[in-house]
């Protein structure tokens, strides 16, 4: 733990010293307050997830995201009690080796499908709870320690072929846990219809070796302010999918200042347990869940979010899940100075 902290401090000090020559580092990220009621049990989570970005000239970037949260729930006596959690989601050095190719070393978000990389920030995700199939391909905790190559292999006006390939080592260092695995993701994005189709593969190389595969489809048509996102994933222990839709009333004929900020949401997901598989972090039985929600986008990057979901599970108790959250996205320079 001490060695890991020393490494982080040294990396950041080096990065900050170098950044003084090449640009202003930033602190970005999200903060929020999440209230969750699952099956009648209510909990609160104040969360701060800062992202630090330190550009080092035009070729290198050091970036990191931390997650600091307090989990507050009732204890056996009926009193609210809090427990703090901190995690390092990524701490990586990017080398921009070519215009659309980056080599990354360090701790990074595992590029299996796209939820982990694109939708995990609390100020971006529409539903505060991750999809049921999220653990597939992201074992052990969504982050990998190792190397990654990513970029766009082909970039045409009409379409783009993007990819990410990585190798992760086994790590048991506190805050830097990761599993030994190799894999990658490839996707084709059609710019005109704004349709992206991709696939993922991971070979887990620790303890029992096995494959995880996935696919995703995102469609955000130009004609309407609609986002449709979906993923499918398969692992030896089970398989499942989720489909999410979000519609923004930006073109409302009346009351745009109020209605235009509304964003109704819906998500459907299903999971089938194939066989028991120790430690795969997936539900023990088949599950299906339907959720509806609403985002309300306030000025200054503040968002109110509420959702309701009904979870149906085989061999278990069905339950209602409620989430209410307020999130805030912040972005400011690390050092004070003149605006221009």
Partner 1 sequence: MKNATVILTMLVAIALFAYAGERSPVTSSMQAAAAAKEGKAGGSAKQEPTKNSAQNNRGAELFETHCGRCHKPPDDLSPRIAPAVLSHMRTRAMLSREDEEELLKFLKP
Name the residue nearer to partner 1 (CB basis): 313 or 323: 323
Span from 137-145, 235-243, 264-272, 297-305 in contact with partner 1 (CB under 8 A) = 297-305
Cis peptide before 22 (omega within 30 of 0): no
- Within its chain, how far is the Cα of 269 from the centroid? 17
- Among 15, 25, 214, 289, the residue binding partner 1 under the rule CB under 8 A is 25
User: Residue 141: CA atoms inside 13 Å, Cβ hemisphere, count?
Assistant: 17
Beta strands in 248-286 (DSSP E): 262-273
For the CB of residue 133, give the shortest distance to partner 1 in the complex, in Å.
Answer: 19
Q: What is d(CA 2, CA 146) in angstroms, rounded to the nearest whole number?
A: 20
Most distant CA pair in the chain, distance:
62
Q: Please report whether residue 332 would count as binding partner 1 according to CB under 8 A.
A: yes
Q: Please report whether residue 302 would count as binding partner 1 according to CB under 8 A.
A: yes
Contact 69, 85 (CB under 8 A): yes
Query: What is the secondary structure of 157-210 as a DSSP string?
Result: SSEEEEEEEEEE--B-STT--B--EEEEEEEEEETTTTEEEEEEEEEE-SSS-E
Residues 252-291 close enough to bind partner 1 by CB under 8 A: 256-257, 260-261
Span from 49-57, 177-185, 203-211, 280-288 in contact with partner 1 (CB under 8 A) = 49-57
Q: What is d(CA 14, CA 334) in angstroms, rounded to the nearest whole number?
A: 15
- Among 8, 12, 14, 28, the residue binding partner 1 under the rule CB under 8 A is 28
First-residue to last-residue Cα distance in the chain: 41
Q: Please report whether residue 24 would count as binding partner 1 according to CB under 8 A.
A: yes
- Among 12, 14, 46, 215, the residue binding partner 1 under the rule CB under 8 A is 46
- Among 38, 87, 206, 220, the residue binding partner 1 under the rule CB under 8 A is 220
Residues 185-214 close enough to bind partner 1 by CB under 8 A: 191, 194, 196
Using only the alpha carbons of the chain, give its radius of gyration: 21
Residues 67-126 close enough to bind partner 1 by CB under 8 A: 72, 79-80, 82, 94, 96, 99-100, 102, 104, 117-119, 121, 123-124
Name the residue nearer to partner 1 (CB basis): 115 or 176: 115
Number of residues that bind partner 1 (CB under 8 A): 68
- Among 21, 75, 317, 339, the residue binding partner 1 under the rule CB under 8 A is 339
Q: Please report whether residue 301 would count as binding partner 1 according to CB under 8 A.
A: yes
Beta bridge partners of 231: 216, 242
Q: For 78, which DSSP code? A: S
Cis peptide before 279 (omega within 30 of 0): no
Span from 146-154, 197-205, 209-217, 273-281 in contact with partner 1 (CB under 8 A) = 146-154
For residue 230, the tally of other CB atoms under 10 A from its CB is 19
Q: What is d(CA 32, CA 52) in angstroms, rounded to the nearest whole number?
A: 18
**Contacting residues toward partner 1, per CB under 8 A:** 23-26, 28, 33, 35, 44, 46, 51, 53-55, 61, 63, 72, 79-80, 82, 94, 96, 99-100, 102, 104, 117-119, 121, 123-124, 150-152, 155, 160, 162, 191, 194, 196, 218, 220, 222-223, 225, 227, 250, 256-257, 260-261, 297-302, 304, 326, 328-329, 331-333, 337-340
């Amino acid at each position: 733990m001490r060695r890991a902290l020393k490494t982080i401090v040294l990396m950041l000090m080096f990065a900050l010293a170098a950044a003084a020559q090449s640009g202003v580092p930033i602190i970005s990220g999200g903060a929020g307050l999440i209230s969750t009621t699952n099956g009648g049990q209510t909990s609160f989570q104040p969360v701060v997830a800062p992202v630090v970005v330190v550009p080092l000239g035009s070729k290198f970037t050091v970036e990191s995201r931390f997650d600091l949260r307090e989990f507050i729930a009732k204890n056996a006596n009926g009193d609210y009690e809090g427990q703090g959690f901190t995690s390092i989601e990524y701490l990586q050095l990017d080398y921009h080796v070519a215009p659309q190719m980056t080599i990354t070393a360090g701790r990074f978000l595992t590029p299996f499908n796209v939820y982990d990389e694109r939708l995990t920030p609390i100020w971006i995700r529409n539903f505060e709870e991750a999809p049921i199939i999220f653990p597939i391909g992201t074992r052990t905790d969504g982050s990998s320690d190792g190397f990654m190559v990513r970029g766009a292999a082909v970039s045409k006006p009409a379409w783009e072929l993007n990819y990410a390939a990585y190798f992760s080592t086994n790590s048991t260092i506190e805050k830097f846990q990761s599993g030994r695995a190799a894999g990658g993701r490839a996707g084709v994005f059609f710019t005109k219809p704004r349709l992206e189709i991709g696939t993922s593969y991971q070979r887990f190389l620790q303890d029992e070796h096995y494959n995880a595969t996935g696919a995703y489809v995102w469609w955000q048509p130009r004609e309407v302010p609609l986002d449709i996102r979906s993923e499918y994933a398969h692992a030896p222990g089970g398989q499942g999918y989720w489909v999410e839709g979000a519609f923004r009333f930006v073109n409302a004929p009346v009351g745009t200042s109020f209605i235009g900020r509304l964003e109704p949401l819906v998500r459907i997901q299903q999971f089938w347990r194939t066989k028991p598989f120790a430690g795969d972090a997936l539900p023990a039985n088949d599950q299906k869940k339907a959720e509806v929600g609403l985002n309300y986008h306030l000025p200054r990057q503040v968002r109110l979010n509420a959702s309701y979901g009904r979870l149906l599970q085989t061999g278990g108790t069905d339950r209602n899940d409620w989430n209410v959250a307020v999130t805030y996205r912040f972005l400011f320079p690390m050092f004070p100075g003149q605006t221009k």
